[in-house]
Structure formats: structure tokens, C-alpha cells
A and B are shown apart, each in its own frame.
Chain A
Amino acid sequence: MEWQEVLKRLLQNKISLLGILIILFFIVVAVLAPWIAPPQDPDEPYLIPRGGWSIEPQPPSEEHIFGTTEGQYDIFYGIVWGTRTAFRIGLVVVGISSTLGIIIGTVAAYYGGLIDEIIMRITDVFMSIPFIIATIVLVTILGQGITNVMIALITFSWMSTARLMRSQVLSVKEDEFVQAALALGANDFRIIFRHIILNTIFPVVIQASMRMGSMVITASTLSFLGVGAPEGYADWGQMISFARNWILGVEGDPLHYWYTLVIPGIAITLFCLSWNLIGDAFRDILDPKLN
């Protein structure tokens, strides 16, 4: 199936259209962030401005339309600039780890034998380490910060792509057109990149779009646990961790500080949901049995 056809079907499918619209909305917010929420210090736009030094969150007002969270950090500003952080984490982590996975899986499957054996056992070792614990340990070693979070996420998330790619390549490399290309005198590099990868990439694309959401959630988890973004950095996970002490509200009014939790929660949920909707729709479109 060609790309234009896939795109057309994505836009015709109501569910994926919803997903695409939400993503588009987030993209617009991310791109227009400097105008939607002008930073106080243009050199450090990711630092959330503080409306004071009091600990107690303040409800939405004219000055802070989403209210302020613990320590008077402006929630609106955090959400807007946090969108950029979310995209950055998602695209970089998924992009690099998928590329790594594609290369590792393809090499293992194409060359087979001992190379395959060694690569896949290394993959097994990485897979056997619990993901969250491994990333927490690595970030702790590397030091706090978004870049280190991304490094840790990449280090422990390429394995599923590698396995998926390996199984795909194993089946495609037996196809006659690969033999035909070999018989024409093509070298391994050309066969892998021109003939094999393009015929096996779709399942990886589906998986990557599903992982966009989960990587952002994991990064948020790390921030929530205190090993992610530094304090005051515009990151949705950190916004939720600010809400931790206020989730129970005050006596007799459990929803007193609802805005500290609900607003960043909605942002994360919508972001992940939309990528999953697109991934689901992608899978349905490309599954010949469901056509």
C-alpha cells in the first residue's frame, strides 16, 4: 500500500481523525508557546514563572487562568511549555530507540547464525531488567535532567522494536525479490535499505506511534518520582508531582485543589490517547484481514 493511500484512510477513519486533531492541537500549542505564554526570561523559557513564594496552590484567577500549583508555579505556563517537553521526549526517544531497534533487528535477522544469536541474547538481557527500575538507576547515575531521562529511556526501550523488526525481516528476506536483487549483483547494504526495510517498516511505525504516548508517561513518572526534570522545569510529570501533597484537598472538601492535579492529568491523558488512537487506526488500516 502506498503512503498517500494510508494517509487518506487515516483521515477517513473517525477515531484516527480525532487522534490527529488532538495531536494537531498540541503541535499548535507547542509551536506558538512563546506567544501563548510569553516567557519572563527568553533565555530560560522552560522555567515556570512563580507568582509568589507561598506553598499553598491558588485557584484559577484572571492573572493565573489555570491557577497556581505548589510554590506558586503558574499551571497554564507549565502546561503550554510542557507540551514542547512532551514532544521533545516523545520524538527523540521514540525516534532514536526505533532507529536503533530497526538496525539491530535487521542486522540480526539478515545475517543470522552467530551474529543473530549474540545480538538477541544481549536483547534478552536488556529486556529482563525491569524498565522503570533500570531507568531510575541510570538517571540517578547520570544525574537529574531531561536529557539524561531521554538517554535512560532510549537505553532501555529499543528491544521491542528490534524483536519486531527481526521477525519481519526473517520473513521478508526469504522473498524472491531479495534473491532477484542478489542475482542482479546488489550488495548487502543496498538490499537491506532498499529492498528489506521499506517492506517491513509499517508494523514498526504502528508500534512507534503507540510508544510516543507511553514514553511521555514514563518520563512523567520519573519526574513524579523526583528523578526527572529539575524543579520548576515545564514538564507535565513534574506538575503532577507538585500536586502530590494537595490531592486529598482540605477537610470536608476533597476537590479543593482539583486544578493542581486535573489540568496536567488531562494534558498527559489526551496526549497519550491521541497517539494510541492513531496507532490503532494505523494497525486496522494495514491489517489485510480487517479490510
Chain B
Amino acid sequence: MSKEALVEVKNLKTYFYTEEGVVKAVDGVDYEIYPGETLGIVGESGCGKSVTSLSIMRLVESPPGRIEAGEINFKGTDLTKLSEKEMRKIRGNDISMIFQEPMTSLNPVYTVGDQIIEAIMLHKQVKRKEARRQAIEMLQKVGIPLPEQRVDEYPHQLSGGMRQRVMIAMALSCDPQLLIADEPTTALDVTIQAQILELMNSLKESYGMAIMMITHDLGVIAEVSDRVAVMYAGKVVEYTDVDTLFDDPKHPYTWGLMNSIPKLDKDVDRLEAIPGSVPSPLNFPEGCKFNTRCPLAEGKCFDVEPPLEDTDGGHMVRCWRYEHLEEIKKRGERIYEDRGVQK
């Protein structure tokens, strides 16, 4: 892509200093987000996807957390070097964020209108009356019926889907250029999930903003993303555009993730699951961090960590043996069930 990146994350390392040791939650992550596109970040719980987003917002709790190294370039400024005061001007204004739990993301003691008005008045020099008018307009834009009435209601009077719409209205009230959505649909019913994703897609078009969509749900990724970064144990393991990823996953982890989803067109007795779980960040294995669960791991995988390599035309993979995976895919074997995992 020739366009200039809106956000460029370079070699980001966010560590947590706990009593048990240093937790390398994000350990050298690189990606870019271009204006108007959606970057999906996918991975299991604990792989560092939320911490990356909190690092961009500089909301990592410190102590114990700290951005150890790396750059986060947002329109040419390195966010890691800004003061707290300068950062507050960017939060909610240039970069907004919505969270997973719409039930607890709104303050229970204020009306939804109050909270949207607060967001508007934090960054725009407008009178309260004008802010209220804008709040009602925002509620209308996110598809809340009777916005003039809803604006004076308390969060407990709204359903989960409605609250997530309010959160989106709040996040978009200052026309941000980047919206970070941290599992925005995880806590919602499937039908509501689809509505919210559709809403985000249409708002993205009309506002021309970029979205960073963090999720563990490949379905959500397929629905909204342009490009995808698959994360495992604090690192990006595969990074490419969404079609390539689904057509031709090259990392055994991505491959495993895709096979663990039921498919309508295939009749299988059992889903193929990736055995085990993400290793504790306090004692990651030597070499490739996926080697404890990888059926293909051998020799070099246990000694040296593979780099994130460009395999063909921008399809980045962090694996020594991705070519081997190609051969297995051609033979149509199931890699996790047919091979025991070496421990």
C-alpha cells in the first residue's frame, strides 16, 4: 500500500513488572493502520492483543506496566513520547476506544446523555445546549430509536446492544481518526453482534476513520477487517490481508484457529482443536513460542525464534516450517489430530 500509515507501531514492547517476574505481554509488535481501513487483531486470551491497544492509548496501568521500547507513530508524532496532558487531548478526540462490556462501560449514576455531552465538551468548545443537540444527533446516527427520550435515560434502562450503541456514539462524538474496538461484540447476542458490526462498518464509511478491531472471533474478523494481524504470546505470528489469510493461512497457529471453527459445508465428527493453552508469559519456551503446541515443531523450532518473514508479496509469517505446512495442506491431512504434539 502506498498511502501513508495513520498509525505505525514499531517494535512495541510492553512489559509488566510483577512480583513473580517480568511479564512480556507485548514483545516486539509491528503493524500499520492506514486511513479508512479496518485492521483486525486476533488471538487467544492472554496473547497481548488488548495490551497493544491500551499501549496506543497509553492506558497501560503503571506500575506495574511499562512501555519498554518501540514507537507508536500517529500522524508523525510518537505517542510514547507525549506527556500525559498531551495524551489526554488525543484520547477521545483523535483516537477513541470502545470496550467489551457495555454493561459496565457506562457510569450507572448519570444519564446516557450526560455522558455523551461530557465526551463532547471535553474536546469541543461548545455550550451545553449545543452539546446536547449533538448528543441526540449521535444517538440517532447509531440507530437508537426516540433519541430525544433516550438521551435522558440511565444506562440500566437500556439493553446491552443499546448500551454498546451509546458507547459507540460516545466514542465517535469527536470525529476520531482511529477507533479502537476491544472485543465490542463479545458480550452481545449473535443477532445484536451482526447489527453492531454492520453499524461500525457503515459509520466507518461515513466518518472515513480507521478501526482497530480486537477480537478472538475469526467470524468478526472476516466480517469487518481489511487486514489481519494474528497474535500469539505477545508477538504477531501472521500478518496479511483478510482474503489471503482465510484462503491460505501459513502459520500452524492460524491454521489451527480456523480448523477449530465449525463449518456449514463440511461434515466432521469432531472439530480439530489446538491442544494445550498459551504458555505462561513468565516462562515462555526457548525458540518459537508456539513450539509447545505445534505439531510441526522440530529441531530449530526449539532453539531459535523465527523472524516475521515476508513469504510472498506482503504475507508475513513467523514460522520456520510454513512450507512444510503447505505440503500437509495439499495432502488434506488434519495436522493436530493426526500427529501427537511433541512436548
Which residue numbers of A lie inside 8 Å of B, CB to CB? 113, 175-177, 179-187, 194-195, 198-199
Extra contacts besides A179-B99, A184-B91, A185-B90 (10): CB < 8 Å: A113-B63, A176-B104, A177-B107, A179-B59, A180-B170, A181-B107, A183-B59, A184-B118, A184-B170, A185-B92
Question: Bound state CA distance, A198 and B109, in angstroms?
Answer: 7
CA distance A113 to B257 in the complex (A): 40
The minimal Cβ–Cβ distance linking B187 to chain A, given in whole angstroms, is 11
Cβ distance A181 to chain B, nearest Cβ, rounded Å: 7
Q: Are A199 and B107 in contact (CB under 8 A)?
A: yes
Contacts of B324 in A (CB 8 A): none
Q: How far is the CB of B234 from the nearest CB of chain A, in Å?
A: 21
Interface of chain B residues 60 through 119 with chain A (CB within 8 A): 63, 88-93, 96-97, 99-101, 104-110, 118-119
B57 contact set on A, CB distance < 8 A: 182-183
Q: What are 13 A-B contacts defined by CB distance under 8 Å?
A: A176-B99, A176-B105, A180-B99, A183-B92, A183-B97, A184-B96, A184-B170, A184-B171, A185-B89, A185-B90, A185-B123, A186-B88, A186-B92
Q: List the count of A-B residue pairs having beta carbons below 8 Å apart.
A: 62
CA distance A184 to B105 in the complex (A): 12
B51 / chain A contacts, CB cutoff of 8 Å: none
6 closest A-B pairs by beta carbon, nearest first, are A184-B92, A185-B92, A185-B91, A183-B97, A176-B104, A177-B107
The tally of residues in B whose CB lies under 8 Å from a CB in A reads 28
| In the bound complex, CA of A194 to CA of B110 (Å) | 9
**How long is the Cα–Cα vector from A179 to B96 in the complex, in angstroms?**
12
Check A186/B122 contact, CB under 8 A, given A176-B99, A176-B101. yes
C-alpha spacing A100/B107, complex, angstroms: 25
Residue B131 at the A interface, CB < 8 A? Answer: no
Tell me, yes or no, whether B167 is within 8 Å of chain A by CB.
Answer: yes
Which of B89, B105, B108 touches A180 (beta carbons < 8 Å)?
B105
**Nearest neighbor of B173 in chain A, beta-carbon distance:** A184
User: In whole angstroms, what is the CA distance A187 to B171 when docked?
Assistant: 16
Q: Cβ of B91 and Cβ of A182 under 8 Å apart?
A: yes
Contact with A along B316-327 (1 / 0, CB 8 A): 000000000000
Assembly CA distance A184 to B99 (angstroms): 12
A177 with B104: CB separation less than 8 A: yes
With a cutoff of 8 Å between Cβ atoms, the chain B residues found around residue A181 in the complex are 107
Asked whether, in the complex, the Cβ of B167 is within 8 Å of the Cβ of A194, the reply is no
A176–B107 Cα distance when bound, in Å, is 9
In whole angstroms, how far apart are the Cα atoms of A195 and B108 in the complex?
9
Complex interface: chain B residues within 8 A of A113 (CB): 63
Q: Which residue of B lies closest to A114 (CB)?
A: B63
Q: Is the CB of B106 within 8 A of A199?
A: no
When A182-B59, A185-B89, A187-B88 are in contact, do A177 and B105 touch as well, CB less than 8 Å?
A: yes
Nearest CB of chain A from residue B96's CB, rounded to whole Å: 7
Complex Cα distance, B99 from A182, in Å, reads 12
B308 to A: closest C-beta gap in Å: 29
| CB-based nearest A residue for B91 | A185
Contact A184 B122 (CB under 8 A): yes
A2–chain B nearest beta-carbon distance, Å? 8
Residue pair B88, A185 in contact (C-beta under 8 Å)? yes
Cα A195 to Cα B104 with chains together (Å): 12
Min C-beta distance of B142 to chain A, whole Å: 16
With A and B bound together, what is the CA distance between A181 and B91 in angstroms?
Answer: 10
Task: Give CA–CA (A266, B264) in the complex, Å.
Answer: 80
Please give, as numbers and ranges, the residues of chain A lying within 8 Å of B96 by CB-CB distance.
Answer: 183-184
Which residues from 147 to 161 on chain B have a C-beta closer than 8 Å to any C-beta of chain A?
none
Taking a contact as CB atoms under 8 Å apart, the answer to whether A199 and B108 are in contact is yes
How close is B256's CB to chain A, nearest CB, in angstroms?
31
**Cα–Cα, bound, A181→B104 (Å):** 12
Mask of B120-155 contacts with A, CB within 8 angstroms, 1/0? 001100000000000000000000000000000000
A57 CA to B72 CA in the complex, in Å?
84
A183–B181 Cα distance when bound, in Å, is: 12
Closest to B108 in A: A199
CA distance A177 to B97 in the complex (A): 12
Within 8 A of A (CB), among B20-70: 57, 59, 63
- Residues of A contacting B123 in the complex (Cβ-Cβ under 8 angstroms): 185
Residue ID in chain A nearest B116 by CB atoms: A184
With the chains together, A257 CA to B92 CA distance in Å? Answer: 73
A185 partner residues in chain B, CB cutoff 8 A: 88-93, 122-123
Q: Contact check, A175 vs B104: say whether CB atoms are below 8 A apart.
A: yes
How far apart are B239's CB and chain A's nearest CB, in angstroms?
25
Q: Which residue of B lies closest to A199 (CB)?
A: B109
Q: Which residues of B contact A195 (CB under 8 A)?
A: 107
- Contact across chains for B91 and A183 when beta carbons are under 8 A apart: yes
Whether A180 contacts B167 by the Cβ 8 Å rule is yes
Q: How far in angstroms is the closest Cβ of chain A from B7?
A: 16
Nearest chain B residue, comparing its CB with the CB of A197: B109
List of A residues within 8 angstroms of B93 by Cβ: 185
The distance from the CB of A113 to the nearest CB of chain B, in whole angstroms, is 6
- The distance in angstroms between the C-alpha atoms of A199 and B170, with both chains bound, is 20
Closest A residue by C-beta to B123: A185
Provide the bound-state CA to CA distance between A187 and B87, in Å: 10
Shortest C-beta distance, B202 to chain A (Å), equals 22
> B97 to chain A: closest CB distance in Å?
4
A184 CA to B101 CA, complexed, in Å: 16
Which has the most chain A C-beta neighbours within 10 Å: B99, B107, B167?
B107
A175 to B100, CA, bound (A): 12
Residues of B within 8 A of A194 (CB): 107, 110, 118
Output the least CB separation between B230 and chain A (Å).
Answer: 25
Q: How far is the CB of B99 from chain A (nearest CB, A)?
A: 5
Q: How far is the CA of A231 from the CA of B100 in the complex (A)?
A: 65
**A180–B100 Cα gap in the complex (Å)?**
11
- Complexed CA–CA distance, A176 and B106 (Å): 8
